[in-house]
Structure formats: C-alpha cells, structure tokens
Structure 1
Amino acid sequence: MSAPTASAAPIRSRRRSALGWAALCAGLLLAALIGGTLVYGGYTQRAIFDPDSAGPDGTRAVVRVLERQGVTVTIARDRAAAERALADGDATLVLRDAPMLSDDALRELTDRAQHVVLVEPRSRALEVLLDGSALGGFSPDASATPECTVAAASNAGTARVGELLRPGDGVQGCYPVDGEFGLLQSEGTDGRTVTALDGLSVLTNTALPVDGNAALALGVLGQTDRLVWYVPALSDADQNTAAPTLGDLTPAWVTPAMLLLLTAALAAAIWRGRRFGPLVAERLPVTVRATETTEGRARLYASSKDAAHALDELRRAARARLGRLLGLTARTSPHEVADAVAQRLGADRARVRGILVDDLPRTDRELVAAADRLRDLEESVRAAVRTEGTTR
C-alpha cells in the first residue's frame, strides 16, 4: 500500500504545477486582451478643445448644438484635410494654436476661409492674423458686457472672459476688463472676419452653459453653413523647414568648453591612475596578531598626540568589563556604570565618575596616570565582587 501512495504524490505535485502555469498563462492572455482592447479598440485620449471630447475641457457640446442649427461641422485632424475642406472658400475655420506652422503657412491656410476664429490665441497668431494684437492679462471666471458693435457679442450679452487681449490697429475689442478685452475681431472690406477669444472660458463643455457663452459661441462659430474645425498635428510642419539641431541651439563656446573639460578629465584620470610599482600578491586570509593591532593603534594615537581619544578607548573597554562584573546590561550608560561602581566600593561618586568618564588628560604623563587609576579601580571592583562571592 505504501508504494502506490509514494508514486501518486509526485503525480499530484506535477499536476498542481501544470495547473498553476496554465492559470498564469491564462491570466497573462486575459491582461493582454484587455490592454489591446483599450489601446486598439477605439479608445483615444482627447486633448483640450477637441471637438470629439465629452470631457470638461472638450468641445463636443458646442459642435452638437451647431449641427442641430444646420451647420455642417468637419473635423480636420491634419493640414491637408483642412485645406481640402476649405477648398470652396465659404466656410468658417476654427483654429487652435499651431506652432508647427510657419507664418506663411498660417496665412495661406486662413486665407482659404471666409471667417477665422482663434480659440487658443497666442502672440504669434495675434501678430500675424490680427494686425499686431497681443496677449494681455487674465481675469478668471469674470463676467463682462460686450460694449462693442460686433453682432455676435452684442446679441449674446454678458459672457465669461478669461485670457485678455490687447487689440492692434483697426481691431475692435469686446468685453473690456481694465483696458483689455475678452474678444477681438477685425473685418476686411470683403466681409471676411478674424475673431479671437479664450475658448477655454467660452466654448468648453463646462463653460458653455454659463451666462451668454452659448449664444456667443453660436454667433461666432455659426457665421456660415459650414464649419471646419482644424486640430493641428505635428506632421503639419512645412517640409522645407528643418527642425534646429542641438548644435544650432547651443552657443558657440559650448563645444570648445566641453572638449577642454573632457581633456582635463582624461589627464586627471591618467595622472591619478598611474601605478607606483608592481602589485604585491598576498595570500588571504591574513592573520594579524592582537598584539600587533594594539601596538598599531597605540602608535597611531601617539603620533596624533590624542591622549583623550586613547583614554576613551581604555575607558570603553573598562566600563564593559565592570558592567559584566556588576551584572549590568550592555545599554547601561557610562554615568550609571560609574554610580554602580561607587556604590559597590563605597567610594566618592564624583571621583569615580572622573576616573571612568570625566577626566581629560592633556599630556602623555597624565594619560599614563589616568590609565593606572583606571586599572586600580577595576582591580578593586574585582576584589570586592570576589570577596562578596566567597562562601563562609
């Protein structure tokens, strides 16, 4: 009966191991499927102002409202798609900040649209498209009245402003706050307009229901039957514009300075790393006698003329021995050891503390005298303990 039982145990062990590996592989496969579904199954992290984003900083709500009003919204996620959508020239272009586009590319793209709306105005776009306008201050969560003749602003009434703008020549400002404006608009002789406003305070899903933001958004974005919402991509940069290299961005003196530092480091390594002779082979482990160690430490203390340090070493060893003699723990402080010694010998506590803790020798002669007193004190304690332990 014992043989079958012994043979069945390894089989059960192998079976449990196989089941464990199978469970691990199944778990890894399930994790891979879930990760692949999240990455390639249609989920995409949307950026701020993205017209497909339903998050707080997205703009899907205003897009849906425009579509219900009969406006055809085209989302262009690269420059080529935006140019194709603007081919007819009768659409409104919504433009975020596009630092990858050059000034000429920015003008060429916006010239294809009937109206341009800058929802994330930056200094360069304001300078190029709004006749020298510039960024101003910031007025968080403030409501302002239009006080201008722009139809979209006057019809909307009070709206929220955030980032403020300073108008250039011929540019009209709306929603004034301390001499700066929450909306700028310039209008050409052909009726073409360029409008700039802080989209984060007006167009996002969170800000749209506040005050007259919804009416302002519809008035600015719904000027034509077609709206092209351009989402810039990194690949939209001009092909003939090469990105500056690290050498182009660094000052001219950096390269010579780095070469000089490398040369100095190499010279220092050679200087400090040279060998002063052949290596000496020595068999390990090396046995060093205790007397040699003691004499070596004594020579070091004598050469450094540190009598106090030498006496501290003697005291530390003597206190350890005295503690064991008196039955004290290893954590007993030096003063408590001195007090216990004084109590056992019936001696003056201050004198015993001076021998074990406080006295500081300044010369070798004082060090020898202190060592003698320390030895005599230890011998007295040994004699007292030995006398107490004698049976009568």
Structure 2
Amino acid sequence: MSADTLAPAPVRRRSRAAVGWTVLIAALVVIGLFGTTIVYGGWTQRDAFDPESPAPDGTRALVRVLEAQGVTVTVARDLAAAERALTASPGTLVMRDAPELSDDALRRLTARARDVVLVEPRSRSLDVLLDGSALAGVVDERTVDPACDVAAAEAAGPARVGELYLPGDGVTGCYPVEDGFGVLVAGGDGSSVAAVDGVTVLTNRALPLDGNAALAVGLLGRSSSLVWYVPSPEDADTGAAAPTIGDLTPPWVSPALVLLLIAGLAAALWRGRRFGPLVVERLPVTVRARETTEGRARLYAASGDAAHALAELRHATRRRLAGLLGLSPRVPAEQLADAVAERVSAERAVVRGILIDDLPRTDRDLVAASDRLRDLETSVRATLRTERTPR
C-alpha cells in the first residue's frame, strides 16, 4: 500500500488544500506580473493622430514615409519641447487643434516654424492662423479633384475629403465640395499655413487611399525637419487668472445675496424663542395609551381636521373592542363592527357608521361621534359583565 493510502484523511485534506492555495497564489503572481508589464512595460494608449500610434486613427505610417523621404521627425509632447525643437531647427510644425493654448501662445509657437500644418483644426485656430477662415461642415467621405494651383495638391491629384473649411482673405481652397474645401493653404514658397482633415487624409487607415499619401507628403515634407506637436493639458496658459463667480454674474447678484443674508438673520432673531430652564425628570417616562390617543386627537381638532381626529379615536376604540371580544388586534374593521353589532344586538349598518363610515364635518359632529364611540364601548363592556351570585 502507498504512503498516501496509509495517511489519515485529515492529513490528505490539508495537503490538497495547501496545493490549491499554492496554485492560486502562483496564478495571482503571474497575473500581477502580466498586468505590471502591460502598464509599466512601455505600452501606452495613444490618442487619434498620434505620430507614434499604429492604430487605424494614428499617424505612424505617415511618419515612416516622411522619414524615408529624408525628413527628420521630432515628436514634442508639450509646448516647451515644441518651442525648443523649432528654435533649434525652424522647419515644419504639425499640430492638431490645441484649445489649451491662448491666441498669443498659438501665434508665438507658429511664428517659430517655416511651415504650419493644422490637423483637424477648429474655428478658433482657423480664424487666428488662416485669416478668418472657418468650418463649413462635414460631408460623407469621397474622392475629389484638387481644382487649385497649390503645388502639393496638383502633384497629389484626387484625394479624400470629409471635413470642409471656408477660406478667409488671401487663403486658397483646394478639393471643393458643395460650399467648402477639403484643404486650405495660405502663403507661398517661403512659408505657408495649411489646414487638412486628418481623418480622411493622414491616418494609417486613410493614407493608402487615392492620392492621400502624396498630398500628405507634399504638405508635411516641405522642410528637412518636422516637429509634430502633441498638445498636453499642462500647456494651458496660466498667465490669466481664472474668473471668479463675481466676474461671471451680473452686478446686482452680489448685493442681492448680501440683502437676503441680512434678511434671513433678522428673521431668525425675530422668530427665535428663549428656552426655559431644563426640567429634570426620571426616565423612562410611562405615558398611557389613552393619553397619547387623546392628545393626538386634540392636535387634529385644534388644526381643524375633524376627520383625522375621529380616525384616531376610532382606531383606539377598535383596538380596545377587539381586546374585549377576544379578537386579534389586526382583525379587519368590518369584521369587528359585525362582531360588536352581534354582541350588543344592534343593526350592523349603525355600528359600521359609528366605527367606520360616518365622517364629521364640524367640531360638533366630532363631539357627537366621540360620544357614540364611548357609548358603544360602554355597551360592549356591559354585555361582558358577569352577574354576581347572592351570598
């Protein structure tokens, strides 16, 4: 016989439990190492148009094509890094819309570059950098001829468009669709500012389609160096102080709030009451149910709500009648009324009116209903009294 067969059952169970715990701990360690490798092992989720993202909405393929054409691409993930890179080599600046930057910071950054390419810009960037240009809406993705004299567009030929722009003064529009253009270009051979929809032209998914690759290289590859600026929330301009609530509200709001505060304090002082001396009383205090019921009934009566006052009196009376007749405290009111009517030999409709149905409208009706309740309870008690035997 083996040693396991000879071992006692509790020992075998402990051995199996130890093995199970060991396997569980080992699995948790492996999962933890795998998760740590993913989080801290160099993998980082990238946003759309990120030059290092291989995802369909990334732009790493375009960066590889530009590098193959001899363009040195520098990725700057904050404003200071972008300014340093442009100062060292004032080439082409590529950036998507940066709402974090003020107008002055946007002009200061783009002034350091020879060429500027705006990827999916918004209205403010178009207005500031392209002389009053604006958004013109979005159309279904389609292939369009350039229909302009911009060298990059003419060399690329037909390309995809999606987001449309309206050109400002002195701005050339290419790839016309309806009332807008798919590409805007301002400037000439010396320096230029261009706006292009990155989704339909620059992304890894769109780059191989039609003339997108040629158009992208023509717009971004004009210089031997390119700085791809990825805006960061830390780039927000902190020079201007954040507006206060007083700055954002009409002038009359602050005086009105002060006046309301003073009125509230005055009302609190006016309606305040001075408490009398504390009364020392031994606890617990026992209050009879009758006193509680009558007290609540008086409160309802004082408030002019005769129906609620009578409901309290009826509830207490029905509870006492159920006890007298040996019924459950939870017996339905209709059954209790029938039992009481049978006990006192009265009409059921009359007893039900006293215990359930009759509704008082005035204080006089309330007093009369209370008297009928008392008389009915007295009648029931009278039927339960036993006759005394003579001595």
Q: CA deviation at 1:183?
A: 1.7
2:160 corresponds to: 159
Instruction: Answer yes or no: is 1:168 the counterpart of 2:190.
Output: no
Q: Which one of the candidate residues 277, 280, 296 is aligned to 2:278?
A: 280
Residue 232 of structure 1 is matched in structure 2 by: 231
Judge conservation of contact 2:144–2:160 (CA < 8 Å) in 1.
yes
1:125 matched residue in structure 2: 125
Instruction: Please tell me the residue identity of whatever aligns with 2:144.
Output: T
Q: Distance in 1 between matches of 2:277 and 2:256?
A: 37
Give the 3-state SS of the residue equivalent to 2:94 in structure 1. strand
Backbone CA RMSD of aligned residues: 4.3
Spell out the pairing of 1:215-254 with structure 2 (5 A cutoff).
215-233=214-232, 236=235, 241-246=239-244, 249-250=247-248, 253=251
Q: 1:231 to 1:320 in 2, by over 3 A?
A: same
Show CA shifts across 1:9-60 (max 9, x none). xxxxxxxxxxxxxxxxxxxx99999998777654545444322234454333
Deviation at 1:359, TM superposition (A): 0.9
Unmatched 5+ residue regions in structure 2? Answer: 1-28, 387-391
AA matched with 2:283: P
Aligned twin of 2:107: 107
Residues 251 and 219 from structure 1, CA distance in 2 versus in 1: closer, same or farther, beyond 3 angstroms?
same
Superposed displacement of residue 344, structure 1: 7.5
Deviation at 1:74, TM superposition (A): 0.9
Query: Which residues of 2 match residues 186-201 of structure 1 at below 5 A?
Result: 186-188=186-188, 190-201=189-200
**Mapping of residues 262-273 of structure 1, within 5 Å:** 262-272=261-271
State the match for 2:202 in structure 1.
203
- 1:49-64 to 2 correspondences below 5 Å: 49-55=49-55, 57-64=57-64
What are the superposed Cα offsets for residues 227-275 of structure 1, whole Å, 9 maximum, x if unpaired? Answer: 2101234555678x443452784357255455444444454555555x5
**Alignment CA distance shift 1:107-1:260 (3 Å):** same
Distance of aligned partners of 1:204 and 1:258 in 2 relative to their CA distance in 1, 3 Å threshold: farther
CA separation in 1, counterparts of 2:213 and 2:335? Answer: 82
User: Is this contact kept in 2: 1:147–1:174, CA < 8 A?
Assistant: yes
Partner Cα separation in structure 1 for residue 53 and residue 226 of structure 2: 17
Matches of 1:61 and 1:127 in 2, distance apart?
Answer: 30
Q: CA separation of 1:356/1:103 partners in 2, compared to 1, >3 Å: closer, same or farther?
A: closer
Distance in structure 2 (CA, Å) of the matches to 1:89 and 1:369: 103
Mark the CA change 1:272 to 1:202 in structure 2 (over 3 Å): closer, same or farther: farther
Deviation of 1:217 after TM superposition, in Å, equals 2.9
Deviations 1:48-96 (A, max 9, x none): 4322234454333332343344432110223343234334766321022
Q: Which amino acid aligns with 2:62?
A: V
The answer to whether 1:359 aligns with 2:355 is no
Q: Do 2:136 and 2:166's aligned partners in 1 also have CA atoms closer than 8 Å?
A: yes
Which residue does the alignment assign to 1:136?
136
| Amino acid paired to 2:280 | E
Paired-residue identity, % = 60
Cα distance in 1 for partners of 2:335, 2:212 equals 80
Q: 2: distance between equivalents of 1:184 and 1:297?
A: 82
The 1:37–1:311 alpha-carbon spacing in structure 2 relative to 1, beyond 3 Å, is same
1:145 to 1:323, Cα distance in 2 relative to 1, 3 A: farther
Residues 108 and 295 (structure 1 numbering): CA distance in 2 closer, same or farther, change over 3 Å? closer
CA distance in 1, matches of 2:60, 2:114: 23
How far apart, CA to CA, are the structure 1 residues paired with 2:355 and 2:245?
A: 69
Distance change >3 Å, CA 321–CA 261, structure 1 → 2: closer
| Greater Cα offset, 118-127 or 39-48 | 39-48
- Pair 1:185–1:256, CA change in 2 (3 A): same
> CA shift at 1:354, angstroms?
1.9
SS at match of 2:278: coil
Conservation of the 8 A alpha-carbon contact between 2:293 and 2:316: no
Which amino acid counterpart does residue 351 of structure 1 have in structure 2? V
Question: Given the superposition, is the C-alpha separation of residues 272 and 99 from structure 1 closer, same or farther in structure 2, using an over 3 Å criterion?
Answer: same
SS in 2 for 1:169: coil
Aligned 8 A contact 1:160 1:211 in 2:
no
Corresponding residue of 2:67: 67
8 Å Cα contact 1:144-1:177 kept in structure 2: no
**CA offset digits 1:343-374 (Å, max 9, x no partner):** 78886554343222111133455444434544
Task: Describe the superposition over 1:264-293 as per-residue Cα deviations: whole angstroms up to 9, x where unpaired.
Answer: 4454555555x5265334234263653654
Structure 1's 299 and 374: CA in aligned 2 closer, same or farther, altered over 3 A? closer
Kindly tell me: are residues 301 and 72 of structure 1, through their superposed partners in 2, closer, same or farther at Cα, counting changes over 3 Å? closer
Distance 2:220 2:75 in 1: 14
Normalising to structure 1: TM-score of the pair? 0.71
Superposition TM-score, scaled by structure 2 size: 0.71
Q: 1:116 aligned to 2:116?
A: yes
Cα pair 2:161 2:197 within 8 Å, conserved: no
| 8 Å Cα contact 2:159/2:215 also seen in 1 | no
CA distance 1:132–1:256, change in 2 (3 Å): same
Please state how far the C-alpha of 1:186 moved relative to its aligned partner.
Answer: 1.8
Q: 1:212 to 1:247 in 2, by over 3 A?
A: same
